[in-house]
A and B are shown apart, each in its own frame.
Chain A
Amino acid sequence: MHERLSFYTKRDSSLHKLNPLTKLTLAFSLVLISFISPWYWTPHVLLLLILIPLSFLGKVSGEFLRALFRLILPAAGFLFLMQAFFQPIGSSIIFKIWFLDITKESLIFAFRNAMRIAIMVSSFTLFLLTTHPSELMSELTRRGLPGQFAYVIISTLQIIPQMQAKAQTIIAAQRSRGLDTQSGFLKRVGSLIPLVGPLVFGSLVEVEERAIAIEARGFTSTREKTFLYDIPDTNLDRALRWMLILLVIASLALRIWLS
Chain B
Amino acid sequence: MSIITQNLVYFVIAIAIIIILLIWAYSTNRLQQDFNTLTWTLIPVAIAINVVIGQIVVTLKLPVYLDSIGTVFVGVLCGPWAGAITGMLSNIIWGTIIDPNAFPWFPVAFFIGLVAGFCAKAGLFKSWWKVIVTGFLVALTAAAVSTPISVGVYGGITASGSSFITAYLLQTGQNLLPAVLITNNLVEPFDKISTALLAYAIMQGLSTRFLARFPRPQNVEVQKDVNWMQIIIAVIIVIAVLAFYILVVVNLTNK
Q: Residues of A at under 8 Å CB distance from B?
A: 5-7, 35-36, 71, 75, 78-79, 82-83, 85-88, 99-100, 109-110, 113, 117, 120-121, 124-125, 127-128, 148-149, 151-153, 155-157, 159-160, 162-164, 167, 171, 181, 188-189, 191-193, 195-197, 199-201, 203-208, 210-211, 214-215, 219-220, 259
Contact = CB atoms under 8 A, between A and B. Distances in A.
Interface of B: 1, 5, 8, 35, 37-38, 40-45, 47-49, 51-53, 55-57, 59-62, 69, 89, 93, 95-101, 103-104, 153-159, 163, 166-167, 170-171, 173, 198, 201-202, 205-206, 210, 213
B44 A148 contact: no
A207 B45 contact: yes
B154 A117 contact: yes
A87 B37 contact: no
A159 B45 contact: yes
A117 B155 CA distance: 11
Contact of A200 (B8, B44, B49, B61): B49
B91 to A, nearest CB: 12
B163 A82 contact: yes
A196 B45 contact: no
Contacts of B213: 208
A249 to B, nearest CB: 14
A156 B62 contact: no
Given A204-B210, A207-B45, A82 B157 contact: yes
B13 to A, nearest CB: 15
Given A87-B170, A196-B53, A171 B97 contact: no
B55 A124 contact: no
Contacts of A78: 159
Contact of B101 (A75, A153, A196): A75
Contact of B52 (A113, A164, A197, A214): A164
Give the interface centre of B93, B95, B205 by most chain A CB atoms within 10 Å. Answer: B93
Contacts of A203: 45, 48-49
A241 B53 CA distance: 38
B108 to A, nearest CB: 17
A110 B156 CA distance: 11
A109 B155 contact: yes
Nearest to A6: B97
Contacts of A188: 60-62
Nearest to A166: B52
Contacts of B8: 35-36
